[in-house]
A and B are shown apart, each in its own frame.
Chain A
Amino acid sequence: MRTLMLVFGFIVVAAAIAPNAQNATVEKLYISLENLEKDNLAVVDLTTFKEIKRLTAGSHPHGLTSPRSQAVLYAASEVGGVVTLVDTVRDQVIKTFHVGFGVEPQNGAVTPDGRFLYQPSYAGYWQVFDTQKEEIVQYIHTLGIGHNTVMAPDGKFVYLLPIAGGEGHWRRPSLGLPRTQPKEVTVVDATTHKAVGTIPVGAGPRPGTISPDGRRLYINVDDHMGFLVIDTAARKVISKATMTLTADEQAVRSRSHGIAVANDGKEVWTNDVVHAVTYAFDVTVDPPKQIARFAVGRQPYWIVTSKDGKTVYVNCPSDDVLIAFDVATKKEKARLQFPKGSHNTRMTVVAAPRTTS
């Protein structure tokens, strides 16, 4: 009897002190503050919605990606041409990779196992960086200007989204950017690092995101206010979501920039940059139906969701503000104001382990 009581007591104590799944990680938002040379990566604790640390991730970080382990983060430095590896458990810079990432490294994606980083360069190609060997093992040339990357949830395919470019990019002679104008997404087999197909999208691709099951790719494109819906198996555009703009909004050219999946894949949220509006669409119907419209801060530029998809975060760099929305109620939950001039642009949510053991 005494032994039984001891065992029972041990179980009770063990259960009380063992970290449950929720407490084993801490959800944090890493935000690039693009106008700052130093302290240009802000770390925000999403439990308290407070900034807890600043790091320096190269010069002008413009791409953030984390593998399934969530224990590290890769930050691409647009100006410095380097990638910085960040320990997300301790929030420390581990190292900086100086391997010649080409002209203005942009928004890459790392494979779920953390082995390969697909790192785009403005010069019109993606570099496959082996994170163990710490060397570039493959170059994948696309037309246009390498910019955004979407990794399939299972890590089998990676989608390359080059900017089409135009006079605005080509007038930078020192960069020598390609003058080809791709209106397509390149599909790459993430095990062989070979391009296996393209998806015509009719306009220059902008940011993209993917459904939790990997069956739908959602991308912003040039000159369309909303986003395209791509069937990843068929590799074709199957639908188009269009924002409802006022007459005055139609008279001012804008862009959709920043897109995220919320609510278990049932909703997609995206921004109208110039008019400072964020939209929510129901993507369970075809075409997607606009279900909410929010006035946000100036130049909403990037959107991410919490890991449970219940909170959406919108970065508005011209007002240096980060806004959190509750997906269920479609109401603003909180605002985090950064110091004037911080210019918070790109960001990613990481559910970092509390310890590395």
Chain B
Amino acid sequence: MLIGFGRPLDFSRGRQVPVRYAPLTAPVRIPLEALTAPWQPVSFKAEAVAPPARRVLLTGVVFRRAAAGQTQNVSAVCVTCTHEQCQVDFVAEPANLPRTDRVITHPVFLCACHSSVFDAMDEGAWVAGPAPRGLYRFRLRVGADAVEIDAVEEEALSAV
């Protein structure tokens, strides 16, 4: 066990604090037919405005988690690392994850710059590395034929 790289002691790294969302400039619609298979992230771009008036371009992925059949099984996260803005990669079959002795067999997001690891099963929650928190989440609604993404965590606007 590496000291300092186990489960976080502070709640801010976990998902204990209430989430505040900021609206996107225009909602993003992803057809459900693009999300039929689990763990196949679909990339998208979204725009928002950071106070007072800075245009922010966000890159995200939306994906269906392994257990299918329920609307809650679709997640959308921003792929900008919460540490220093590098873009994280989706890793479908992780092995020997850096900076942690946790064994995770389900997909994760991994940052190439400083090796932060995020849990794809848990909407990008922080697992390991220097990132101060999990990935920024998008708010989404699963409709009859599409997923509509209409907001992003407010904190993302000052970081991205």
* Residues on A facing B (Cβ under 8 Å): 34-37, 60, 79, 167-175, 248, 250-255, 273-274, 298-299, 301, 317-318, 320, 341, 343, 345
Say what secondary structure dominates the interface of chain B: loop
With A171-B133, A299-B112 as contacts: A255 and B84 at CB distance below 8 Å: yes
Q: Across the interface, which residues of B come within 8 angstroms of A317, CB to CB? A: 112-113
Q: Across the interface, which residues of A come within 8 angstroms of B130, CB to CB? A: 168-169, 172
Chain A nearest CB, measured from B50 CB (Å): 9
A301 vs B81: C-alpha distance when bound (angstroms) = 14
With A79-B2, A174-B3, A251-B57 as contacts: A168 and B114 at CB distance below 8 Å: no
Interface check B22, CB cutoff 8 A: no
Q: Across the interface, which residues of A come within 8 angstroms of B56, CB to CB? A: 251-253
**7 extra interface residue pairs, beta carbon distance < 8 Å, beyond A60-B99, A318-B89:** A34-B115, A79-B5, A169-B132, A171-B10, A171-B13, A250-B55, A299-B86
Q: Across the interface, which residues of A come within 8 angstroms of B12, CB to CB? A: 171
Give the total of B residues in contact with A, Cβ under 8 Å. Answer: 37
Interface check B16, CB cutoff 8 A: no
Is there an interface contact between A173 and B9, defined as CB atoms closer than 8 Å? yes
Interface check B61, CB cutoff 8 A: no
Interface residues as binary, B117-160 with A (CB distance below 8 Å gives 1, 0 otherwise): 00000000000001111000000000000000000000000011
CB < 8 Å: which of B58, B113, B115 contacts A299?
B113
* 19 CB < 8 A contacts A-B: A79-B5, A168-B131, A168-B132, A169-B130, A169-B132, A172-B130, A173-B10, A174-B4, A174-B9, A175-B4, A251-B47, A251-B56, A252-B56, A273-B84, A274-B80, A301-B113, A318-B113, A341-B110, A343-B113
Interface check B40, CB cutoff 8 A: no
Closest to A34 in B: B115
Is there an interface contact between A168 and B98, defined as CB atoms closer than 8 Å? no
Is there an interface contact between A274 and B98, defined as CB atoms closer than 8 Å? no
Q: Across the interface, which residues of B come within 8 angstroms of A167, CB to CB? A: 132
With A251-B56, A317-B112 as contacts: A299 and B87 at CB distance below 8 Å: yes
